[in-house]
């Protein structure tokens, strides 16, 4: 028999029963009968509520949309309104509307003490909720895992203090790079910049885009150093890297977005766009060696382009690969890689959809749903769909340039605020409608 005595939370070797008590507390918190009649615990009694919002402020509160994955809160069968939503999050946060927040907090504290023991039961044992860490002030904007969560705007924001820190690191990088040639910047400084950006990229994909090439340079330097030097602190501090001018230009562009505007759309994101949800718009695309096309019934449109149209627009082409799907009719060979064509088709369709949504929003700001637009891109090419999500990791110049363009477009103010792109594979034989748009020999008109 093995008894774990010191394990990391969530590790593989953690005991299977490590959350049984926590789950019991959560269940008790959610289902205690007549929650409003419970005696008020001292920690809950110390809670201070913020001032009431003005009618003008309340009118601007963001609303959530109900869908199959988030059906909303079911009304309780009893007459006790507090049972509708005494939510419980990770032992450290309670959420509710203003009317019932104190009861919600009291229920959480009471349930914890029911499961783990009340302070008066054993004065020599530390309380299950540390009063020195208790925050008595209820807030509508809270800091969680390094981000600010605004419950009135329904936004997740990368805080300005982290932006200031990133700005100082970038300024130091620029100073070191402007020194006499041969100096460069330490690998440690580059890793600090990239690590901070990886955190902010949760709400700002543009940050990853503008540091991608620097990441490739750092990876090359580390891979060539061997295993032993990487473990030496001196190597990380002393090894110098000279950043090429195009990459410095990317970093200067990134530096210009690091302002003190807390709600800068480049550094915040709607909560509804960060969690899974049903798509609001579904688009279908397809490409072949004859052309490409796409359509959507949600934002009614249909388009098609021939391969000659694309070549006339200087589409990057390859001269070595002409791939056909197994069910496709044989057509005259064209020197265009089919995976590239599929990716371009998705980009064209997203450009069309988002541009139209942005025009609607400019004339009617209420046209955007409260949780934002979720665009589901259906395609029958797994490579193109993979590039849609992870193209910035590709070393292929053509793919990376198109990915840079797409990510920059999606990081412009409107899509950064209101749009989330999701990709899903649709088997080729099920993509008949889009197939007809890309294969002129099947549907000439």
105 vs 234, more confident:
105
Distance CA(201)–CA(198), nearest Å, equals 5
Alpha carbon distances (Å) from 147 to 163, 270, 415: 12, 13, 21
Distance CA(38)–CA(256), nearest Å, equals 53
- Show Cβ contacts of residue 102 under 8 Å, excluding neighbours closer than 6 positions: 44, 47, 49
Does residue 9 carry a pLDDT above 60?
no
Three-state SS annotation for the chain: CCCCCCCCCCCCCCCCCCCHHHHHHHHHHHHCCCHHHCCCCHHHHCCECCCCCCHHHHHCCCCCCCCCCCCCCCCCCCCCHHHHCCCCECCCECCCCHHHHHHHHHHHHHHHHHHHCCHHHCCCCCCCCCHHHCCCECCCEEEECCEEEECCCCEEECCHHHHHHHHHHHHHHHHHHHCCCCCCEEHHHHHHHHHHHHHHCCCCHHHHHCCHHHHHHHHHHHHHCCHHHHCCHHHHHHCEECCCHHHHHHHHHHHCCCCCCCCCHHHEEEHHHCCCCCCCEEEEEEECCCEEEEEECCCCEEEEEEHHHHHHCCCCCCCCCCCCCCCCCCCCCCCCCHHHHHHHHHHHHHHHHHHHHHHHHHHCHHHCCCCCEEEEEEECCHHHHHHHHHHHHCCCHHHHHHHHHHHHHHCCHHHHHHEEEEEEECCHHHCHHHHHHHCCCCCCC
Distance CA(306)–CA(332), nearest Å, equals 13
Predicted confidence band at 319 (pLDDT cuts at 50, 70, 90)? very low
Distance CA(211)–CA(50), nearest Å, equals 41
Predicted confidence band at 231 (pLDDT cuts at 50, 70, 90)? low
Q: Yes or no: say if 406 and 419 are a contact pair by the CB < 8 Å rule.
A: no
Q: Is the dihedral of CA 317, 321, 326, 329 positive or negative?
A: positive
Ramachandran region, residue 29 (left: φ > 0; alpha: ψ -120 to 50; beta: rest): alpha
> Average pLDDT, stretch 77-96?
57
Does residue 88 carry a pLDDT above 60?
no
Distance CA(188)–CA(357), nearest Å, equals 43
- CA 326 to chain centroid, in Å, comes to 36
**Count of CB atoms within 10 A of residue 440's CB?**
17
Neighbouring-strand partners of residue 179: none
Average confidence score pLDDT of the chain: 81
Predicted confidence band at 322 (pLDDT cuts at 50, 70, 90)? very low
pLDDT digits (tens, 9 = 90+) for 389-431: 776 667 677 787 888 788 888 888 888 888 999 899 888 777 7
> Average pLDDT, stretch 97-123?
88
pLDDT digits (tens, 9 = 90+) for 15-72: 566 667 777 888 888 788 888 889 999 999 999 999 999 999 998 898 877 888 887 7
> The pTM is what?
0.76
pLDDT above 90 covers a percentage of the chain that reads 24
Structural domains of the chain, with CATH: 1-63+83-139 (no CATH), 160-271 (no CATH), 277-438 (3.30.420.10)
pLDDT digits (tens, 9 = 90+) for 123-172: 888 888 888 889 889 999 988 888 999 999 999 999 999 999 999 999 99
pLDDT digits (tens, 9 = 90+) for 244-277: 888 888 889 889 989 999 998 889 998 988 888 8
- Show Cβ contacts of residue 131 under 8 Å, excluding neighbours closer than 6 positions: 43
Q: Yes or no: say if 435 and 286 are a contact pair by the CB < 8 Å rule.
A: yes
**Least confident range of 37-51, 174-188, 200-214, 215-229:** 215-229
Q: What is the pLDDT of residue 378?
A: 92
Does residue 356 carry a pLDDT above 90?
yes
- CA 417 to chain centroid, in Å, comes to 12
């Amino acid at each position: 028999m093995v008894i774990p005595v010191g394990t990391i939370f969530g590790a593989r070797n953690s005991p299977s029963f490590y959350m049984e008590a926590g789950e019991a507390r959560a269940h008790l918190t959610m289902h205690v009968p007549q929650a409003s009649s419970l005696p008020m615990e001292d920690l809950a009694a110390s809670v201070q509520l913020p001032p009431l919002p003005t009618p003008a402020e309340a009118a601007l509160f963001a609303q959530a949309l109900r869908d199959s994955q988030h059906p909303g809160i079911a009304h309780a069968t009893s007459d006790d309104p507090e049972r509708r939503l005494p939510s419980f999050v990770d032992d450290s946060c309670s959420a509710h509307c203003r009317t019932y927040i104190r009861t919600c907090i009291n229920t959480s504290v009471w349930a914890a003490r029911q499961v783990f023991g009340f302070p008066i039961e054993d004065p020599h044992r530390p309380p299950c909720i540390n009063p020195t860490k208790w925050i008595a002030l209820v807030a509508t904007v809270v800091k969680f895992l390094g981000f600010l969560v605004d419950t009135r705007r329904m936004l997740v924001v990368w805080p300005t203090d982290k932006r200031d820190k990133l700005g100082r690191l970038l300024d130091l990088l620029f100073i070191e790079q402007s020194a006499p040639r041969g100096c460069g910047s330490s690998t440690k400084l580059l890793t600090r910049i990239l690590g901070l950006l990886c955190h902010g990229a949760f709400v700002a994909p543009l940050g990853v885009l503008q540091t991608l090439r620097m990441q490739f340079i750092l990876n090359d330097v580390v891979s060539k150093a061997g295993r032993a030097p990487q473990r030496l602190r001196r190597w990380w501090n002393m090894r110098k890297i000279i950043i090429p001018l195009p990459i410095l230009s990317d970093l200067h562009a990134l530096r210009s977005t690091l302002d003190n505007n807390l709600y800068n759309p480049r550094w915040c994101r709607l909560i509804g766009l960060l969690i899974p949800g049903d798509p609001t718009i579904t688009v279908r695309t397809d490409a072949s060696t004859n052309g490409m096309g796409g359509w959507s019934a949600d934002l009614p449109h249909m388009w098609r382009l021939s391969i000659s149209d694309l070549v006339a627009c200087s589409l990057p082409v390859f001269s070595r690969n002409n791939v056909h799907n197994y069910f496709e009719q044989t057509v005259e060979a064209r020197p265009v890689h089919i995976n590239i064509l599929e990716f371009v088709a998705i980009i064209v369709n997203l450009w069309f959809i988002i541009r139209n949504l942005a025009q609607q929003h400019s004339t009617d700001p209420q046209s955007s749903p409260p949780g934002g637009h979720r665009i589901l891109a259906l395609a029958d090419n797994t490579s193109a769909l993979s590039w849609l999500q992870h193209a910035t990791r590709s070393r292929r110049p053509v793919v990376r340039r198109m990915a840079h363009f797409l990510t920059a477009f999606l990081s412009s103010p409107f899509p950064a605020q209101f749009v989330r792109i999701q990709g899903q594979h649709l088997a080729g034989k099920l993509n008949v409608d889009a197939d007809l748009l890309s294969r002129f020999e099947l549907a000439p008109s």
